[in-house]
Amino acid sequence: MGLIGGNSLQKLIGQALPRNAPGITIGVEMTILLNDSSLLKSQAFINGAWVDADNKDVFDVKNPADGAVLASVASCGRAETARAIEAAGSALDGWRRRTARDRSSLLKAWHALMLEHSEDLAQILTAEQGKPLAEARGEIAYGASYIEWFAEEAKRIYGDTIPAPSNDKRLVCIKQPVGVVACITPWNFPNAMLTRKIAPALAAGCTVVCKPANETPLSAYAFAVLAARAGIPDGVINILNGRTQEIGETLTSSRIVRKLTFTGSTPVGKKLMAACAGTVKRTSMELGGNAPFIVFDDADIDAAVAGAIVCKFRNSGQTCVCANRILVQAGVFEEFTAKLTQAVGALKVGKGADDGVTIGPLIHETAANDVVALIDDAVAGGARVIIGGGRSGLGANFVAPTVLTNVSHEMRLFSEEIFGPVAPVFQFETEEEAIDIANNTEFGLASYFYTRDIGRIWRVSEALEYGIVGINEGIISSEMAPFGGVKESGQGREGSKYGLDDYLEIKYLCMGGIDK
């Protein structure tokens, strides 16, 4: 299915439709080329129906590359969230009673539809999020891989038998779904962050109410269309956007919702955890990072530069696992910095939909302002701009890929998550010093180091206080591996054989009177 050309190609150019008319799926200036225009939705998805907000309120979703309005999306609040929770609660019994094989088949059908429509999903993703199309295509494949993985894992939810303390007893553990799950997800991966929550939840037998970021709801609605087409029953997946505070309060205070899973910033995660305490909900938190990327003297420098580029500049630096502090040992500092700068100079900034672009816009002007403020703070403290150093000239949302040296631990970018295309390069002398610097943060999500010494690989891997360690590798994400952090980067793991545990309760059965 090609994007350009062919009879099925539809060019959707939104007309000046009245914003509050029911059922509008595209906004005033929208231009996205799609094969299947029915994937574009702007209403909330509750109990299998596409619905407006009760008060018909909408908010605009904009293309971060040019500010064009893509859609006017239903702006929901308390009442709609309560109905979504009720729908998920009513669907729960039917869904959890299905056999694991049945749930698995439906997830596989959904996965197949996502792959079939991957080009359209990628186009929608780039339009609302800004990332280069090649990355958007990669994200769709990555997001879909969680659905396939958990479709398979659904059939492997095993329990235990336990040796009994006396002969007349038998002890057994069974695993059961936790119940209705609230999923709150960010704008940096509008597809994958949601599939890696929904897929394990559904595989375990849970139903979900999802609140994707208001910046990027269209990707979520598009794959909800496909979920319904795959035959996933009404009420099992509910998705809504709008008044974030109201939606969050309704989800966290509900007794029907038994778990909340969140990907986003540490401050918001802490607030959600506190709010969930009132009903003692289970929580999974995938929060902020401050990843060290350590290059030792004995590293393969070209490999380290390639790893730093992909790790730091993927998604314009807007990932929780991006290298935040690049630490380079004194003996290779000059060589590494020169080669990094050359590679950064080859990156192409532009609209994600344009050919050859490798760095898209940041999600909005506020995000770009925050990143520029971090650069300015470093420069005021004595940092040297090797390349970049501010906005790229393409518009308010575009920040030039930047390399900074002469950076110090007192600068804000040492302790704060940059979330933009800025690489500060620090110098260190010894292995112990590198580990101390790396661990000198309240965060503990991803970390990376490059070395060819096998002893050092083990020593440093064990010493780093992080949930994920990339060794001679800048890309660590995969549906097969456990993703998650320690310290204030969160709790729980997504993906892998461990990813289902967060959606399952262990029930212990004690059977007596066996000998009678």
Q: Are 289 and 485 in contact (CB under 8 A)?
A: yes
Q: Name which of 126 and 263 has its Cβ closer to ligand SIN.
A: 263
Stretch that binds ligand SIN, among 107-115, 125-133, 316-324, 408-416 (CB under 6 A): 316-324
The C-alpha atoms of residue 65 and residue 253 are separated, in whole angstroms, by 37
477 touching ligand SIN, by CB under 6 A: yes
Check binding of 189 to ligand SIN (CB under 6 A).
yes
Which range binds ligand SIN by CB under 6 A, 66-74, 149-157, 318-326, 505-513? Answer: 318-326
319 binds ligand SIN (CB under 6 A): yes
Q: Is residue 79 a contact partner of residue 259, using CB atoms and an 8 Å limit? A: no
Q: Is 320 in the site for ligand SIN (CB under 6 A)?
A: yes
- Return the number of other C-beta atoms located less than 10 Å from residue 22's C-beta: 10
Using the contact rule CB under 6 A, the part of the chain among 33-41, 161-169, 314-322, 457-465 near ligand SIN is: 314-322
CB of 103 to ligand SIN, least distance (A): 24
188 binds ligand SIN (CB under 6 A): yes
Tell me, residue by residue from 237 to 266, as one string, x for binding to ligand SIN by CB under 6 A and - for no binding: --------------------------x---
Cα distance between residue 121 and residue 19, in whole Å: 24
311 annotated active-site: no
Amino acid at residue number 169: K
Which of 153, 215, 286, 488 is an active site residue? Answer: 286
Question: What's the closest the beta carbon of residue 324 comes to ligand SIN, in angstroms?
Answer: 12
DSSP string, 83-136: HHHHHHHHHHHHHHHS-HHHHHHHHHHHHHHHHHTHHHHHHHHHHHH---HHHH
- Residue nearer to ligand SIN on the CB measure, 76 or 210: 210
Of the candidate spans 67-75, 154-162, 297-305, 319-327, the one that interacts with ligand SIN by CB under 6 A turns out to be 319-327
Contact 487, 465 (CB under 8 A): yes
Report the alpha-carbon distance of residue 512 to residue 374 in Å, rounded.
64
Rounded-to-integer distance, Cα 349 and Cα 401, Å? 8
Beta bridge partners of 176: 505
Q: Based on CB atoms, which residue is closest to ligand SIN, 52 or 494?
A: 494
For residue 461 the two structure tokens come to 């891997």
Number of neighbours of residue 253 by Cβ within 10 angstroms: 14
d(CA 489, CA 285): 8
Query: Measured from the CB of residue 233, what is the shortest distance to ligand SIN in angstroms?
Result: 29
Scan for tokens 């037998």, then name that residue: 205
Tokens describing residue 409: 């631990």
Q: Minimal distance in Å, beta carbon 188 to ligand SIN?
A: 5
Mark whether 286 is an active-site residue: yes
For the record, the structure tokens of 397 come out as 């949302």
Nearest distance from C-beta of residue 42 to ligand SIN, angstroms = 26
Looking at 76, 210, 276, 320, which residue is catalytic?
Answer: 320
Kindly indicate which of the ranges 117-125, 317-325, 466-474, 496-504 contains the residues binding ligand SIN, using the contact rule CB under 6 A. Answer: 317-325
Determine which residue in the list 53, 91, 321, 500 makes contact with ligand SIN, applying CB under 6 A.
Answer: 321
Q: Phi/psi at 72 (nearest 5 deg)?
A: -110, 110
Chain residues binding ligand SIN by CB under 6 A are 188-189, 263, 286, 319-321, 477
Q: Which residues are catalytic?
A: 286, 320
